[in-house]
Amino acid sequence: MRIAIISDIHGNLEALQAVFAHMENERVDRVICLGDILGYGPDPVACVDLVSARCEWSLMGNHDFGVLYEPTNFNASAEQAAFWTRAQFEAETDPERARRRWDFLGRLRVRVSFGEFLCVHGTPRRPINEYLFPDDALNSPVKMQQIFERVEHYCLVGHTHVPGVFTNEPDFYPPDDLGGVYRLNGNEKAIINPGSVGQPRDLDPRSSYAILDEDAREVHFHRLTYDVDAVVAKIHAIAELSDWLGDRLRDGR
């Protein structure tokens, strides 16, 4: 089974379309989403429609939660974006379509397990809101230990928008250090982040996702160019979305 892992789309339709187009040639059997379909970006409704049509399931991210329930611990521009995003769903005039979308969002789960994999948006300790940063592998041994205690073999997370692999040494490996491939070797626990489709924050503006090949026991990381300028222009044209939300896409931060 080859499973595409996507996360943190954030209403960026052009990036999401580029990722799905790339999958066409990757013999993908299933697609799963680790959350944050919504927030920040200009096309939240289209992204929900595409994810609900193409993904087997999606997790509840903090921004999905913010739009569906209430934005907690958001800065001013993220909160304003969450309220604007909610209004886009409320503006739907076809009651059947509106109902289908709210149902989909209402069914997002906080954690899903399959085979050796536990999947959460943030961390196994605080699945919706806690960030596991690359620096934590060096600076936060207690946090790393407590998080790895909750991982039996492997865990898939999103939320930081930084792709790579944490091992229980503890250590962190960006995809480039792994030659783009992490091999599941059974000797170590690992927490794997596919990076962000719609708002990468590792100073590389290209869209990020990963493919898990269960038979080969490998995770392949992919980066894809997409029309960043088109998305920036859309964001700049929407008064409720801060210009910075567009500008940051160009720098991957």
Where on the chain is the footprint of Zn ion (CB under 5 A)? 8, 36
Cβ proximity to Zn ion: between 16 and 184 the closer is: 16
Cβ atoms of 63 and 82 within 8 Å: the answer is: yes
Cβ proximity to Zn ion: between 65 and 182 the closer is: 65
Q: Residue 10 CB, nearest distance to Zn ion (Å)?
A: 6
Cβ proximity to Zn ion: between 35 and 175 the closer is: 35
Beta bridge partners, 30, equal: 3
Residue nearest to Zn ion (CB): 36
Q: Is 193 left (phi over 0), alpha (psi -120 to 50) or beta?
A: beta
Q: Residue 201 CB, nearest distance to Zn ion (Å)?
A: 9
List all residues 6 or more positions away from 247 whose beta carbon is below 8 Å from its beta carbon.
232
Q: Residue 159 CB, nearest distance to Zn ion (Å)?
A: 6
Instruction: Report DSSP state, residue 214.
Output: T
Radius of gyration of the chain, Cα coordinates, nearest whole angstrom: 17
Q: Residue 93 CB, nearest distance to Zn ion (Å)?
A: 29
Cβ atoms of 8 and 36 within 8 Å: the answer is: yes
Q: Residue 36 CB, nearest distance to Zn ion (Å)?
A: 4
Q: Residue 157 CB, nearest distance to Zn ion (Å)?
A: 11
Cβ proximity to Zn ion: between 204 and 213 the closer is: 204
Three-state SS for 38-85 is: CCCCCCHHHHHHHHHHHCCEEECCHHHHHHHCCCCCCCHHHHHHHHHH
Cβ proximity to Zn ion: between 183 and 250 the closer is: 250
203 vs 194: CA distance, rounded Å: 15
Cβ proximity to Zn ion: between 41 and 124 the closer is: 41
Cβ atoms of 206 and 222 within 8 Å: the answer is: no
